[in-house]
Structure 1
Amino acid sequence: MSTFAVFGMTRDQALADARKNVKTTRRTPQGEVAIPLSEWVQLCEKRADEIMAGTKVKQLGPLFDAPQYADEFIALARRTLKCRDLQIRCKAALTDAQGNPLINKKTKAPKVGWQDYEPDRARSVA
């Protein structure tokens, strides 16, 4: 069962997100006007810089069966990409502040989600 994943942000992912969100037109008194390609690319680069300076992280790459494979992925990413905040997360039963498992009201099953992986602490992996 694949329960480990690497979360973080790379420059490539930030640029892809920026390309999705930066508009290709701007509103003027004459109506919608297309932004020139060179200006749009600059806007995308600026937005990617803002994303890299932020704290938002996404899942990078595939799911892994063991944390050592995720460590290898992180080492490779740090050598080859501009990245930040790389961390391993695992799927686990979510708990409240007192440590009690959160229960899905509809299915009556424990809620499962991503939590930071800490090798020292024993955790129930779903």
Structure 2
Amino acid sequence: MSTFAVFGMTADVALAEARKITKTSRLPTQGLTLSEWNIAVEKTAAKIMTGKKVKQLSQLFDAPQYAEQFMELARKTGECRDLRIRAKCEITDAQGKPVLNPKTKMPKVGWVDYVPISAAA
């Protein structure tokens, strides 16, 4: 059985990420004021929103329709980009054979873009 999650980037997630990675000083001896740091955080968040990096936005769902509902809500609440549903399942190569972990000899499990059956036909 697969599990599904929504991946992408929203303005809120980008802002939280920018707060984590923005430095609080220019030089080791000079600190930034709060207003300067806030400006730096906003610039970093804007850069993250224009990038290609995506994060898992939702909790795990057991059916794709719940992930689609989450995507609709995310689009309504604010700015977002690259929203897509991914399923956690066995990773396969181009011929459709499962990719094996060299240590355990078991199939690798990872996130794969989910394609609805009606869209695949």
Verify same fold: TM over 0.5: yes
TM-score (norm 2): 0.92
Answering whether residue 36 of structure 2 is matched by residue 34 of structure 1, we say: no
**Counterpart AA for 2:109:** V
**CA deviation profile, 1:69-90 (whole Å, cap 9, x unmatched):** 0000000111112111110000
- Runs of 4+ in structure 1 deviating by more than 3 angstroms, as ranges, are none
Answering whether residue 17 of structure 2 is matched by residue 14 of structure 1, we say: no
Distance 2:68 2:111 in 1: 17
Answering whether residue 120 of structure 2 is matched by residue 113 of structure 1, we say: no
Residue in 1 aligned with 2:88?
A: 91
In the TM superposition, what are the counterparts of 1:23-102 in structure 2 within 5 Å? 23-27=23-27, 31-102=28-99
Cα offset, 1:96, TM superposition: 1.9
TM-score (norm 1): 0.88
Distance 1:26 1:54 in 2: 24
Distance 1:23 1:60, change over 3 A: same
- Unaligned 5+ segments in structure 2 are none
Distance 2:10 2:2 in 1: 22
Indicate the percent of aligned positions where both proteins have the same amino acid.
62
**Counterpart AA for 2:22:** V
Cα offset, 1:2, TM superposition: 6.3
Distance 2:29 2:111 in 1: 42
Q: Which has the higher helix share?
A: 2
Secondary structure of 1:89's aligned partner: strand
